[in-house]
Amino acid sequence: MITKSQVKYIQSLGQKKFRDEEAVFIAEGPKIINELLGALPAALIVLYATSNWAEEHAALLKNIPLSKLNEVKETELERLSFLPSPNQVLGLFQKPPPLPSQHFTANISLMLDGIQDPGNMGTIIRIADWFGIDRVICSTDCADAFAPKTVQSSMGSIVRVPLLYTDLLQFVKENTGLKLYAASLNGKKINEMEKLKEGVIVIGNESKGIRKELLDLCTERVTIPGSGRAESLNAAVATGILLSHLVPLPGSLS
């Protein structure tokens, strides 16, 4: 059962303003809900699930208080869903707290300058998780990491990768001595580079790249060599390629 005010509340969470105020985000579909309940059961606020899904996932739900489980009909789920085709279960979760912008310790991080597309944003967070990246530092004009589409395309990685939204120029100035590697079309070829020991890999906006003021603060420009035919690569694909070449495998850092 679901009330009108619940529907209204959940729909309001489609807007960043309300997500920020409430510190809540939405995740949908069996795959991502499985991931989140496994990784972060305490963050669950409420789950709206079909009775079929709830029966099939009794083991997963064992440690979830009954008061947090709301069985709904598929037609009710349709009214809540942000997906083109609603998918058995939708959950509200508490947003993890943002990272502090100081006390930045050396390791390998990712910095995103104006990534606009929520799908790219989520895919990049999933990549950061795959390569064990420490944290993702986002400019304030990046797509919101907790938008429904971003959560979806992160495939659950959103709760495992520490995130910070901040003024990048100020961040770089305050955290002196950072080595910044700028993804660029005319830099050092990544296949001729050693793996990084520490540093920040900087990815720019999908069409404009890294803004000049930030690029000017970067230590080095790095490039994915290609055949020279396509003009560019998708921002998430470029991030994946850069990290796969530059980030040491876990355990290989000493």
DSSP 94-137: EPPPPPPSS---SSEEEEEE----HHHHHHHHHHHHHTT-S-EE
Virtual CA dihedral for 142, 146, 150, 155, nearest 10 degrees? 140
Rounded to the nearest whole angstrom, what is the least distance from the CB of residue 19 to a copy of itself in the complex?
A: 21
Closer by beta carbon to a copy of itself, 210 or else 224: 224
**Helix locations, the chain, DSSP H:** 4-12, 16-22, 30-39, 51-56, 58-61, 74-80, 118-130, 148-154, 168-174, 212-215, 235-246
Rounded to the nearest whole angstrom, what is the least distance from the CB of residue 183 to a copy of itself in the complex?
A: 13
Q: Extract the tokens encoding 107.
A: 């390791």
Closer by beta carbon to a copy of itself, 70 or else 184: 184
Closer by beta carbon to a copy of itself, 51 or else 234: 234
Rounded to the nearest whole angstrom, what is the least distance from the CB of residue 242 to a copy of itself in the complex?
A: 9
DSSP assignment letter at 75: H
Rounded to the nearest whole angstrom, what is the least distance from the CB of residue 68 to a copy of itself in the complex?
A: 25
Closer by beta carbon to a copy of itself, 72 or else 235: 235
Q: Rounded CA gap, 85 and 26, in Å? A: 15
Phi, psi of 243, rounded to the nearest 5 degrees: -65, -40
Contacts of residue 226, Cβ cutoff 8 Å, sequence gap at least 6? 233
Please say whether the beta carbons of 157 and 189 come within 8 A.
Answer: no
Rounded to the nearest whole angstrom, what is the least distance from the CB of residue 184 to a copy of itself in the complex?
A: 15
Closer by beta carbon to a copy of itself, 30 or else 41: 30
| DSSP three-state, residue 180 | strand
Residues contributing to the site for a copy of itself (CB under 8 A): 31, 35, 119, 123, 126-127, 129-132, 153, 155-157, 160, 190-191, 207, 224-234, 236-241, 244-245, 249-250
Rounded to the nearest whole angstrom, what is the least distance from the CB of residue 195 to a copy of itself in the complex?
A: 9
Closer by beta carbon to a copy of itself, 117 or else 144: 117
